[in-house]
């Protein structure tokens, strides 16, 4: 195997597995650990993988800067619209309670909220609350607390105290990352605490996230994959990831 072929194979392995150690790669391709480190250096410079201590992870698995709402609003917009349309099938009948997490994908779900049924809606998102406040069929509860300007989401002890008293029929949760090892994750610990409490308050949990989030790991894990009932994502989700998530007992809906 030529060096270029081996490097491409290493990159594919790291991306599919989510990580790989130097020792594992050396054994797999029957080369020395020094050769593997040189290969990883080449792949890192090319932007295909990210070198970490003892091995490598996919580039998208590490995110150090959290984008704001304005930046995320127009990112993968068509995929988010498709996810929102698919989420309509999950909405319960009149009289049920729905929790909407903050986020640009969940904001689109709010915009698609059926107007033919009366729902009790709980959210910590200022934009979602503003959108739903004038909807006659919605009984709205806005969770109050410190609002993070970056995400326009209420966070903090006040939000957590209220969530601890609630039991909702279904929760639509956003996430920055989804992986087998790290579960659902997000960059901010305060938002992670709120998302964790939201999941705990729901009888049924639907994660709404485009496929770029799958395989990514952010700073704070807020829930294991076992806490998810369904994932609504887009058609770019790989068959390998879909199989892995389905094996975890998650209903995967491709919009």
pLDDT tens digits, residue range 79-131?
Answer: 999 999 999 999 998 999 999 999 999 999 999 998 899 999 999 999 999 99
Helices (H) and strands (E) in the chain, counts: 10, 15
Any idea what DSSP says for residue 164? Answer: T
Which is more confident, 199 or 241? Answer: 199
pLDDT of residue 110: 96
DSSP one-letter code for 64: -
Instruction: Supply 198's token pair.
Output: 């939201």
Q: H/E element holding 207?
A: strand 205-208
The residue with greater pLDDT, 253 or 42, is 253
Burial class (CB in 10 A: 0-12, 13-18, 19+), 54: exposed
Instruction: Look up residue 126 and give its two tokens.
Output: 């200022």
- pLDDT tens per residue across span 129-160: 999 999 999 999 999 999 998 899 999 999 99
Over the stretch 30-42, which tens digit does the pLDDT of each residue have?
999 999 999 998 8
Whether the Cβ atoms of residue 72 and residue 151 lie closer than 8 Å to each other: no
Q: What is the DSSP string of 93-154?
A: -TTEEEEE-SSHHHHHHHHT--SSS-EEEEE-BHHHHHHHTT-TTEEEEEPPSEEETTTTEE
Residues whose CB is less than 8 angstroms from the CB of residue 122 and which lie 6 or more positions away in sequence, other chains included: 97, 98, 99, 100, 141, 143, 166, 168
């Amino acid at each position: 195997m030529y060096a270029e072929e081996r490097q491409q194979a290493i990159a594919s392995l790291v991306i599919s597995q989510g990580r790989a150690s130097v020792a594992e790669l050396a054994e797999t391709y029957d080369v020395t650990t020094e050769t593997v480190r040189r290969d990883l250096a080449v792949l890192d410079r090319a932007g295909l993988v990210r070198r970490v201590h003892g091995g490598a992870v996919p580039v998208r698995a590490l995110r150090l800067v959290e984008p704001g709402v304005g930046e995320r609003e127009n990112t993968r917009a068509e995929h988010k619209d498709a996810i929102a349309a698919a989420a309509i099938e999950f909405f319960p009948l009149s009289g049920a309670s729905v929790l909407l997490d903050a986020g640009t994908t969940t904001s689109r779900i709010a915009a698609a909220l059926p107007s033919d049924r009366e729902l009790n809606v709980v959210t910590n998102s200022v934009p979602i609350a503003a959108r739903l406040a004038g909807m006659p069929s919605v009984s709205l509860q806005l969770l109050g607390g410190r609002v993070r300007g970056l995400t326009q989401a209420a966070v903090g002890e006040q939000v957590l105290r209220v969530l601890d008293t609630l039991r909702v029929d279904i929760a639509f949760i956003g996430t920055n990352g989804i992986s087998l090892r790290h579960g659902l994750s997000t960059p901010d610990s305060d938002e992670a605490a709120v998302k964790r409490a939201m999941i705990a308050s729901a009888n049924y949990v639907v994660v709404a996230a485009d496929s770029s989030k799958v395989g990514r790991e952010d700073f704070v894990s807020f829930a294991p994959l076992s806490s998810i009932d369904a994932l609504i994502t887009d058609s770019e989700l790989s068959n390998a990831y879909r199989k892995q998530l389905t094996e975890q007992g998650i209903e995967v809906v491709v919009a």
